[in-house]
C-alpha cells in the first residue's frame, strides 16, 4: 500500500512539474499588445527584444528594448513622456503581462488576439478646445490605418482592440496638433467609438467616430460567396465557392470562440452549439489562406 502511495505521489509530482514547466522567451512578447493603466496605448514588440512602436504622439523610430527570462520575468526600457524609462514586469499568462514603468507606474499589457476586429471605415470628428476636425480613416485586417478622405496624406498608424480596451494612433499631414491623433476609447459597441484623444504636443481632445455599415453578415465583400442571415438566431450559412477555407468567430473582446474549416460550397454554422449569448460577434473567412471577408453578426 505504501509503495502504491509513493508511486502515486511521484506521478502527481511529475505531472505538477510538467504543468508548471512553461517557459518564456523574447518571442513570447511578439506582436501588438495594448497597455492599460498609467500608460494607455498600443505597443508593438518584434519578438527579438525590440519595441518598434508605442502608439504615442511624438514618438519615432525605435521605442525601446526588452529581455524575457525563461520564467517570464521582463526587464527593459520604453519611450515614455519623451524619456527612455525603465520597464519591468512578468507574464501572468500567454496573453497578459503585469508591468511597471520607472518602477512606479503600473501597467497591464493585453495581447491583441484578433487584429481584424476593427476592420472597416470610420467617419466622425476630433475636437480640441473650439476646433473640430472632420476625421475619416480605413483600417485593414491587420489593424493598419491605410487611407483617409478627410485627412491629408501621408496617413499611417494602427488601431487595436483587446480585453475591452481600444486604442490607436493616426498620423497624417493635417495641421498641428491634429497631425497625430491618439485615440483611447472606453465606449466601443462594435459600431461607434467615442473617447479621449491626445494630439501632437500632448494636447488633450476628444473624438467621436462611427463605423460605416459595410461589414454586416448581409454585406458581401466577394462575389464568390454569400453569408446570411443577420441577425442570427440558430445558425448562419456560408454559401459559395470558398476554396480550402476556414472561418473564425470572435467575441467583442477579440477572444477566438471558434475556428473551423469550410469544406463544401454550403457550410452551416450552428450558433447554438457555441453557447453564444445575445450580442455582437465578429467573424473572419479565409480562402486558400487569404483573408476574403471580415464581418459582424448579431445573435438574438
Q: Which triple of cell numbers denotes residue 61?
A: 523610430
- The residues, any chain, with a CB within 8 Å of residue 87's CB and separated by 6 or more, are 64, 66, 74, 75, 76, 77, 78, 99, 100, 101
285: Cα within 13 Å, side-chain hemisphere: 28
Cα–Cα distance for residue pair 181/170, rounded to 1 Å: 5
pLDDT at position 81, please?
66
Strand partners, 64: 78
What gap in Å lies between CA 248 and CA 259, rounded to an integer?
4
First to last CA, the chain: 57
CA dist list (Å): 217 to 163, 232, 283, 285, 293: 24, 9, 9, 12, 10
The model's pLDDT over 203-240, given as tens digits with 9 standing for 90+, comes to 899 988 888 764 433 333 443 567 788 888 888 887 76
b/e 47-74 (16+ beta carbons within 10 angstroms → b): eebebebbbbbebeeebbbbebeeebeb
Res. 104 pLDDT band, cuts 50 70 90 = confident
Evaluate if residue 42 carries a pLDDT over 80: yes
Mean pLDDT of 163-171: 89
Q: What angle do CA 73, 76, 79 make, to 5 degrees?
A: 135
Rounded CA gap, 244 and 260, in Å?
Answer: 11
Asked if residues 92 and 98 have their Cβ atoms less than 8 Å apart, the reply is yes
Q: What would the grid cell of residue 49 be?
A: 527584444
Higher pLDDT, 98 or 194: 98
pLDDT value at position 8? 46
Does 120-211 match 23-111 at the fold level? Answer: yes
Q: Which residue has the higher pLDDT, 252 or 2?
A: 252
Q: Which of 148-152, 178-182, 252-256, 263-267 has the lowest mean pLDDT?
A: 252-256
Question: Radius of gyration (Cα) for the chain, nearest Å?
Answer: 22
Going from N- to C-terminal start, the domains of the chain cover 23-111, 120-211, 225-299
Per-residue pLDDT at 299? 86
| CATH class held by domain 23-111 | mainly beta
Q: Please state the rounded mean pLDDT for residues 97-104.
A: 91
Which of 22-26, 212-216, 261-265 has the weakest average pLDDT? 212-216
For the 225-299 domain, the top CATH level (class) is mainly beta
Q: Please name the residue that has the C-alpha cell 476630433.
A: 126
Compute φ and ψ for 13, nearest 5 degrees.
Answer: -65, -40
CATH of domain 120-211: 2.40.128
More confident residue, 215 or 272: 272
Residue 166 has pLDDT above 60, yes or no: yes
**Residue 234 and residue 217 in contact, taking contact as beta carbons nearer than 8 Å:** no
- Tell me the residue length of the chain: 300
* CB atoms near residue 234 (< 10 Å): 12
pLDDT at 179 over 60: yes
Mean pLDDT computed over 121-147: 89
State how beta strands 30-37 and 73-80 pair. Answer: unpaired
In sequence order, which ranges of the chain are alpha helices (DSSP H)? 2-19
Amino acid at each position: 500500500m505504501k509503495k502504491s502511495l509513493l508511486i502515486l505521489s511521484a506521478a502527481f509530482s511529475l505531472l505538477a512539474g510538467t504543468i508548471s514547466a512553461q517557459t518564456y522567451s523574447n518571442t513570447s512578447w511578439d506582436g501588438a499588445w495594448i497597455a492599460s493603466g498609467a500608460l494607455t496605448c498600443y505597443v508593438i514588440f518584434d519578438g527579438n527584444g525590440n519595441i518598434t512602436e508605442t502608439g504615442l504622439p511624438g514618438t519615432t523610430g525605435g521605442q525601446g528594448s526588452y529581455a524575457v527570462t525563461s520564467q517570464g520575468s521582463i526587464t527593459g526600457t520604453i519611450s515614455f513622456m519623451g524619456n527612455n524609462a525603465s520597464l519591468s514586469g512578468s507574464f501572468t499568462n500567454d496573453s497578459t503581462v503585469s508591468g511597471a514603468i520607472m518602477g512606479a507606474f503600473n501597467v497591464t499589457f493585453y495581447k491583441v488576439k484578433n487584429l481584424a476586429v476593427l476592420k472597416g471605415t470610420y467617419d466622425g470628428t476630433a475636437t480640441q478646445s473650439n476646433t473640430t476636425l472632420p476625421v475619416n480613416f480605413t483600417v485593414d485586417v491587420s489593424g493598419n490605418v491605410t487611407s483617409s478622405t478627410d485627412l491629408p496624406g501621408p496617413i499611417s498608424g494602427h488601431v487595436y482592440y483587446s480585453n475591452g480596451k481600444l486604442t490607436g494612433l493616426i498620423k497624417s499631414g493635417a495641421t498641428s496638433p491634429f497631425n497625430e491623433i491618439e485615440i483611447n476609447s472606453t465606449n466601443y459597441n462594435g459600431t461607434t467609438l467615442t473617447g479621449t484623444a491626445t494630439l501632437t504636443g500632448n494636447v488633450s481632445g476628444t473624438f467621436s467616430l462611427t463605423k460605416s455599415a459595410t461589414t454586416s453578415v448581409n454585406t458581401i465583400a466577394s462575389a464568390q460567396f454569400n453569408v446570411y442571415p443577420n441577425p442570427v438566431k440558430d445558425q448562419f450559412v456560408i454559401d459559395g465557392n470558398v476554396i480550402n477555407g476556414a472561418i473564425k468567430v470572435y467575441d467583442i473582446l477579440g477572444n477566438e470562440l471558434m475556428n473551423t474549416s469550410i469544406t463544401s460550397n454550403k457550410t452551416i454554422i450552428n450558433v447554438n452549439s457555441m453557447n453564444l449569448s445575445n450580442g455582437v460577434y465578429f467573424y473572419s473567412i479565409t480562402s486558400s489562406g487569404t483573408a476574403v471577408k471580415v464581418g459582424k453578426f448579431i445573435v438574438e
